[in-house]
Amino acid sequence: MMASSSSTTVTQDYDVFMSFRGEDTRMGFTSHLYDALIRNDIITYKDDKTLEIGNPIASKLLEAIEASRIAIVVLSSNFATSKWCLEEIAKIVDCMEHGKLIVIPVFYHVDPSDVRCQGNYFQKGFSDHEANPEISPQTVKTWRSAFKKVGALSGMHVTQHRNETEVIREIVAKILKDMPDALPKDLFHGLVGMESRVDEIKRILRMESGEVLFVGICGMSGIGKTTLAESVFYHIQRQFEKSSFIENIKDISKQDDSTDLCKLQQKLLDDILKEKSVRVQSVKHGQTLLGTKLRGLKVIIVLDDVNHVDQLTCLAGGHEWFGPGTRIIVTTTNIDLLNVHKIIEIYKCEEMKNYEAHRLFCQSAFEHGPRTHVYEKWSDDIVKLAGGLPLALNVYGSVLYGKEESYWKEMLKKLQEYPPKDVLGRLEVVFARLDSNQQETFMYIACFLKGRDMDLVKDILTNIGLYSECGITDLMNKFLITINLDDCVWMHDLLQQMCWEILRKKSHIYRGIHFAIKNFQDIVVVLLSKESSTIRIINQEKVEMDDSIDDPYCFSIMRRLKFLRISNVRFPQGLSYLSNDLRILEWFQCSLKSLPSNFKPMHMYELEMCYSQLETLWEVTLVFTNLRSINLSFSKELIKIPDLTSTPKLLKLILEGCTKLRELHESVLLQKSLQYVNLTGCTHLQSLGRSNIEMEALVTLLLSGCSSLEYIPDFGLNMKCLENLYLDGTNIKKLPESLGELHNLRKLDASETSIEEIPLSIRYLKRLRLLRAQRCPLSSQYKGFLFTNVDILSNIRELDLSYCNLSIVPEGVGILHRLISLDLSGNNFEHLAASISLLSNFKMLCLNNCKRLQSLPKLSIVNEDTLYGVQLRFNYIMSGEEVDLSTFHATSNNTSPRVSCMNCPRLAKNESGSYLAERVLNSYLQLRTTYWMIPEAVFEIVAAGSEIPSKFRTSKSDEMLLLDGPWVGVAICAVIAFHHTDANMETKYVVTAHIHRGKTLCKIPVPVNLVQGSENQLVFYWTRAKDLQRLIYTYKKNTFRVSFSVEPRDGNLQVTKFGVHFIRDEEIHQMKIYEDSTNKVVRSKFTAAVTLATYLKRGSKADRINFEDTIHFKSITSFIFVYRRNVISAVCFGLQCCFGCFQGVVDIDH
């Protein structure tokens, strides 16, 4: 028997003693745990490294246990086979029972019940000891008793579904909490994004102040409030005399249970005073004790997960309870509690940023990061599914840790429908504590109203009979819903899933007990069974295969149905009943020709029946006092719409694509509330009515593509709100003189109409920003009138006069000083007015198909506020003279020009075009903004070319390419052939390079706008490719295949050959920087990709470049290089050069 430890006083030399079975965990879990403890300055005894030579091991082990404050017992499958382990555990229990040791058991892949009962793994170990004659039965009995007592303790569990790192972090946190004098050295180890959040809380805490300060940390359940509070607590704990951290208060304290509150008060006093003699007799007594005992102390107290104001009142009643400099931190899911307790300093926890969420998930799901590109993609999907919620990210990661691809693939689908209980359980607790009004409000929002305007949601819920103002405010304060920047009601996806799961559990499909259903098969069953009188919501979220229901009375029992969203459900026998209690009806592809005659939903707010077979809505005039929106888009059988006189709150009328609609009811033009009318593509619409348009609230009127409409009525005097008027594609011949009454009009599109004259009243449209008159047969007097009258277009930003048969561009264009975009394509002028160079805000000049154009004026872009620079397009110019581009340049350091000049054979002969490409691109690289702010490719130059540069290795499609050394980038050059079609048609193609190795590792899509029938092209293209960046860092030495695809696949574009060039460091350092026209050498902190392109093109010997010492090649930039020669185009897309020390600032000195 071991000697009792009670007879001697031992100095505590160790914070922690570790007891473990070496052969099970020494090289894994135990080693990692020991390292974590040492990192946090926790003095830990492990193995025999501190034993002095010559001393008996047994006595030193027992002394080490007595000299420790905490014992960690790692119970693994072979623990009971070691008599030394059992001797240790017996001593540990002895010390524990004498109050000298805190014991933390770790159940390492074993069941605690097996430890308590000595079954399963442990039975044989104890049996062998009992059979050993050298061990007395009493000793084995002592071991069994100690083993059972440790198994009965609450401890940590390491299972296959739980990451060991997470368990280790929890053990360290518990030890630090139980040992407040041990300051953590590596506090944020394993915590993602925590340091910045702790710094923010510390700023709020104002630690330099001597005041007593209460601080609230609030947010939805599972968002990391407790973890944040713990991190802050351990970080600042040493700055206080005493401390206490009380966890899970809502679980400990039941409402109206004074006993639980007394326990919490007692724990707080014990933590602070360390006196067992002070006992709380009642809640009032506890308040008195706290108010007197703590008054002179500077303490830090964390009250975690508070859910009732009484808990705050009992534990931290007021500032006067505590000494100067005290800080009280309260975490809660209900901000109302903080307001009631007059806590002003509040930190609201937000969801994790995407990169933080990705890192946290990968930390839990992988040992060394995602194994393949497929796992990377699935990780992105799961991170998106978790919505930045740390609880979900950790749980999802643990569930998927160590699993194969097939498991991941199936689990991803499962998680979308059924999140783990560990996640939903935490969220359901919050829902269960809501009152009935709050619960019903939450369910309506989660099941149907999420994403809708807040005022509309409030109005609907009030109309239903709920206290919507109170309900929505309460849910917001409990972080169950939010209001986004668009003023729409929103909630976390997991909260929405939780609501559906609660309803699913309560619903019994064949018993007709429902509140809401969304599954397509469930909907069909409910409609066929006619046994769901309680149902309020049918929300078919996924469009599935068609199904038909022959019973026209299938909705007859659903008299309480308030929201209906279905699609692709056919009713061959028609429908005889729909609930008149409906507030919103959304029916996609409705097969009915008319709605039931007895359907009179007087409470209707929204009616949306796109792609329906409806011929009309209702025959008689109905009163809809709440109706806000009617959307019958692409209902191609719709002949007429009803009288809308009795819809005083109607805001939107959408009849786009209703091709059989011939006229509007005259009530539409007299609607005082309508703000948005969309009649786009109503090709048979002939009349808007005979009266004037008197729509005082109208903001947008869309008549695009109404090709049978020849006349538009006069506008009333009170139409002060109309901002957008789209008449393009109509057959209107004249605009009404009353157009000038639309003083707020900002956009007028009259493209492809028959308008010859523009009313003089247009001069009164001082706020007009966009005017399009493409292909309008304007008379000559109106062409000049537009350009020369500064009062008309003084505020114009975008002007489109393409294909208007203009023979000159008047010098008056220079007065349009606010013009940003000018499209003069397809006109007959030979020269542009020199005054165009005065347009300082210019960003786009389009001159496509100006076949007589001879030259361009100087275009100097001098506006420092221009970020993305000028886009210059003059495709399909076939003039007899060469177009001179030499004067086009960008002088601003903030410009990034884009030039497109496809199918310009005369330009190919002008050497200035090639020089222009290099010079303009250099200007592009002078952007004084971060690289990541450039959203897309913004630089193109198009000319002829058909040969792969000599530096490239010419390859066949899908040929295996071997990398024989380290590389920093890859350039891919492809020759593209085009076939003749309509010379006036412009088509957008996407040529995609696929880099793959068994599976596609990277795709580099290149959008190319081409005039069909073109033969000669030369393309410069600048873009970026994140996938290739990942590829370069992951597979620096390997083999790849390269192949190409073209969209659309119309046979007009074909990749005939391509070349690949892998770029290495030494090659980049050998590039020659060519001198510009003034013979000044370009020295760059950021090596221009055009330099490499030029070097590869000319094939000349290069001098060594002297770069500044800060240059390394790490960051990725993608560049598409153009190599011009003979007939077809060579598109070098994806020049992936790696540039380093790139901090977002590009600076080129000339």
Tokens 């009163």 identify what position? 623
Distance CA 1092, CA 1069 (A): 10
Q: Which residues contact 709 (CB under 8 A, 6 or more apart)?
A: 685, 686, 687, 688, 703, 730, 731, 732
Q: Are 219 and 333 in contact (CB under 8 A)?
A: yes
By CB neighbour count within 10 A (0-12 exposed, 13-18 middle, 19+ buried), where does 1028 fall?
A: buried
Per-residue b or e along 968-994, where b marks 16 or more CB atoms closer than 10 Å to that residue's CB: bbbbbbbbbbbeeeeeeebbebebebb
Instruction: Say how far apart CA 715 and CA 689 lie, in whole Å.
Output: 12
Under 8 Å between Cβ of 509 and 469: no
Cα(847)–Cα(877) distance, integer angstroms:
9
CA distances from 587 to 109, 532, 600, 914 (A): 53, 20, 17, 57
Q: Residues with catalytic annotation?
A: 88
Compute φ and ψ for 409, nearest 5 degrees: -60, -45
Contact, 873 vs 847, CB < 8 A?
A: yes
**The tokens of 158 are what?**
């390491």
| Cα(75)–Cα(85) distance, integer angstroms | 10
Output the six-digit token pair for 1043.
């192949």
Q: For residues 1056 and 976, is the Cβ–Cβ distance under 8 A? A: yes
Distances (CA, A) of 988 to 91, 806, 1014, 1135, 1144: 80, 27, 13, 22, 31
Are 1004 and 992 in contact, with CB atoms under 8 Å apart?
yes
Please report the sign of the dihedral spanned by the C-alpha atoms of residue 213, residue 219, residue 222, residue 228. Answer: negative
| Helix, coil or strand: residue 540 | coil
Are the C-beta atoms of 751 and 776 separated by less than 8 Å? yes
Can you give the C-alpha Rg of the chain in angstroms? Answer: 38
Contact 1006, 973 (CB under 8 A): no
Q: Where are the alpha helices (DSSP H) in 627-691?
A: none
Task: List, in sequence order, every residue forming a beta bridge with 436; answer none if it has no partner.
Answer: none
Residues 6 or more apart in contact with residue 703 via CB below 8 angstroms: 679, 680, 709, 712, 726, 727, 730
Q: Which residues contact 735 (CB under 8 A, 6 or more apart)?
A: 712, 727, 750, 755, 757, 758, 759
Cα 459-463-466 angle, rounded to 5 deg: 95
Map tokens 């770029």 to a residue: 1063
| CA atoms of 364 and 397, how far apart (whole Å) | 5
Backbone angles phi and psi of 773, in degrees to 5: -135, 35
Q: 359 Cβ partners below 8 Å, 6+ apart?
A: 192
Strand residue runs (E) in 429-539: 482-483, 489-490, 516-517, 537-539
Helices (H), 593-705: none
Q: How far apart are the first and last CA of the chain?
A: 88
